[in-house]
Structure 1
Amino acid sequence: MSRAAAIALALALAAWVGATPAFAHERILFIGNSFTMGANSSALRYRADSVAALTEANIGGVPAIFERFADQAGFEWEASHELSGGKDLAWHLANRREAIDKPWDVVVLQQYSTLDERNPGDPATTLRDAPALARLVSDRNPDVKVYLLSTWTRADQALKPTGYWYGQPLEAMALAVRRALDAADAASDDIDGVIPVGEAWQRTISQGIADGNPYDGRDFGKVDLWSYDQYHASAEGSYLEALVVFAHVTGYDVRQFGAGEKAANELGIEPRIAEALQRVAMEQLAGARVGFD
């Protein structure tokens, strides 16, 4: 990173930290699939009793990590989730409307990892369904904040010959998802922004904290953000996801948690890695470019 870029990043972080975080009692709903559930890692069942399951029970995942962060930050958040593995936003809209249609303060929407299961990279259904879900919850509470969670590059889609993004830069899939969500955001007055989890993931790799290719062995000292299927997130990947979501939604500087942060300890994440992921989350939210510093 150049000196000028470092100064710009420091100023952006200072401005972010200076923002007033949310302290009031808030109700947040997570809508998504296994990428929010923390499937295939210790995050899946983590503190499942600390969050309200509107449908599938015994799932903690990112909502439970979010709740754990809130407790430590002194915030009053009530986290709920409506999650189902392998589903897209169209499925939630068609099959879980009654569960979703309640007065929430914040709603986080997570689309299918490739945008469209049958046509990877095609944003059409996202442009249709994300605004429709946002309209549903906004009709119930006009003051609700609706955010779209931009997910990460799947190693199986980027690094294997059968993958749709094979032969392209590693960040290509994450950026394709981000562009689609940005377009949905721009098209809807009911959507309030995009949470850049996939870009934070790429930043973690570019800074040498995480390994960028799970198929050739893991470099010593680095973590694997992917789980054993090179698709879902590992505990560290879900932890990073939750950090970015929490900081984005609440305005809290997650670097304040430090090496002793409780969720990381309970998930078995090395303290130095927890600190590094906290830093990366804040750097990404400060607005620096993905993967190139």
Structure 2
Amino acid sequence: MRRWRIGALTAALATMAMTAAVPVSARTILFVGNSFTFGANSPVMRYRPDLVRDLNREGIGGVPALFKTFAEQARQDWTVSLETAGGRDLAYHYEQKRREIDGRWDVVILQGYSTLDPQRPGDPIRHAEAAGAIAAMLRQANSRVRVELVSTWTRADLTYRTPSPWRGKAVTAMADDLAAANSYAMRRYPVISGTIPVGQAWNRAWVDRIADPNPYDGIAFGQLDLWTWDQYHASAAGYYLEALVIFEKVTGFDVRRLGEQERAGRDLGLEPRSMARLQAIAHAEVTSVRP
């Protein structure tokens, strides 16, 4: 397989300073990702596309629309845009979608492929280089842009059924490996501002018995299934947790304040008590993780 390289980019990136916090004037946010961003196999995918600007004009709402709904309830004025492509990694977005994503943004959320490298599962190199390249490009348009990498969740199919580097390991292992890969990307490319611990929030939900860690043996009474029917993508509850973690990490708003009557969760049919528990998990994970 051709090794994807950035060339002289690495040396240039090492000299650029990292932005650690949202600028006071930050009000534009771009989501770049794949099916984990647009909410595949759940009602989240078509949730309120009128709230966001889909740069690919596909009518997607997804996690970005949940973010916007939270923002409205928190009385924050964010203009939310997204550029997504199912089954694609960040190298694809850099190579094929530069025209759409290259611009002046305050915050950019990058979500890579579920196994980091489609051809070499678990290998962080291609993922890190692409994230660094996108961040460097965006810094040319706005030197204060905040670029965050989403650390995604464990796939149940790759843990319990399908041959993979994670089969037979603890259900938390894949998410921990993905988070470690993002930490590596940050160390190698300082233009990346931080990481968003979505997968660690899922791990916390299992440890706290809010969600069931094994969908193949039935879902325990009173617990949530964070995966959808393919045991790969998220359920509405799983995407809801993802959006909560992203929102609190980006804005600093305590998502527990959204409460049991939060609008997006109600629209998705989530039980009020479950909404409050997911909000508490998101808050606990974000406030316990640095950066």
| Common topology (TM > 0.5) | yes
1:49 and 2:73 aligned = no
1:109 and 2:81 aligned = no
1:163 and 2:164 aligned = yes
The whole-number CA distance in structure 1 between the counterparts of 2:257 and 2:64 is 20
Q: Name the SS for the 2:196 alignment partner.
A: strand
Q: CA deviation at 1:25?
A: 5.9
For 1:74-93, list aligned pairs within 5 A. Answer: 74-93=75-94
The whole-number CA distance in structure 2 between the counterparts of 1:286 and 1:64 is 23
Over 3 Å counting, the alpha-carbon distance change for 1:184 and 1:288 in structure 2 is closer
The whole-number CA distance in structure 2 between the counterparts of 1:197 and 1:161 is 23
- Paired AA for residue 287 in structure 1: S
Q: Is the 8 A contact 1:21 1:251 kept in 2?
A: no
Between 1:252-261 and 1:154-163, the stretch displaced more is 154-163
Cα deviation 1:68-114 (Å, max 9, x = unaligned) = 00000000000000001000000000110011111000000001000
Q: Name the SS for the 1:273 alignment partner.
A: helix
Q: CA deviation at 1:22?
A: 7.8
Question: What value does the CA root-mean-square deviation take over the aligned residues?
Answer: 1.6
The whole-number CA distance in structure 2 between the counterparts of 1:188 and 1:139 is 15
For 1:1-293, list aligned pairs within 5 A. Answer: 24=25, 26-287=27-288
- Paired AA for residue 269 in structure 2: G
The whole-number CA distance in structure 1 between the counterparts of 2:162 and 2:26 is 48
* Alignment size in residue pairs: 270
The whole-number CA distance in structure 2 between the counterparts of 1:178 and 1:137 is 23
Over 3 Å counting, the alpha-carbon distance change for 1:286 and 1:273 in structure 2 is same
Determine the structure 2 residue equivalent to 1:8.
none
Q: CA deviation at 1:249?
A: 0.2
Determine the structure 2 residue equivalent to 1:11.
none
The whole-number CA distance in structure 2 between the counterparts of 1:32 and 1:91 is 10
Determine the structure 2 residue equivalent to 1:14.
none
Cα deviation 1:238-292 (Å, max 9, x = unaligned) = 0000000000000000000110100000011110000000000011012169xxx
Q: Is the 8 A contact 1:28 1:104 kept in 2?
A: yes
TM-score (norm 2): 0.90
The whole-number CA distance in structure 2 between the counterparts of 1:63 and 1:154 is 22
Q: CA deviation at 1:189?
A: 2.3
Q: Is the 8 A contact 2:23 2:106 kept in 1?
A: no
Q: CA deviation at 1:164?
A: 2.8
Q: Is the 8 A contact 1:22 1:251 kept in 2?
A: no
The whole-number CA distance in structure 1 between the counterparts of 2:133 and 2:24 is 29
Identity of aligned residues (%): 49
Q: CA deviation at 1:188?
A: 1.7
Structure 2 unaligned blocks of 5 or more: 1-20
The whole-number CA distance in structure 2 between the counterparts of 1:237 and 1:110 is 15
Q: CA deviation at 1:186?
A: 1.3
Over 3 Å counting, the alpha-carbon distance change for 1:152 and 1:271 in structure 2 is same
Q: CA deviation at 1:172?
A: 0.8
Q: Name the SS for the 2:163 alignment partner.
A: coil
Cα deviation 1:214-233 (Å, max 9, x = unaligned) = 11111111110001000000
Q: CA deviation at 1:67?
A: 0.2
- Paired AA for residue 259 in structure 1: E
Q: Which runs of 4+ in 1 moved over 6 A?
A: 20-23
Q: CA deviation at 1:162?
A: 2.2
Over 3 Å counting, the alpha-carbon distance change for 1:25 and 1:137 in structure 2 is closer
Between 1:163-172 and 1:190-199, the stretch displaced more is 163-172
Q: Name the SS for the 2:285 alignment partner.
A: helix
Over 3 Å counting, the alpha-carbon distance change for 1:43 and 1:191 in structure 2 is same
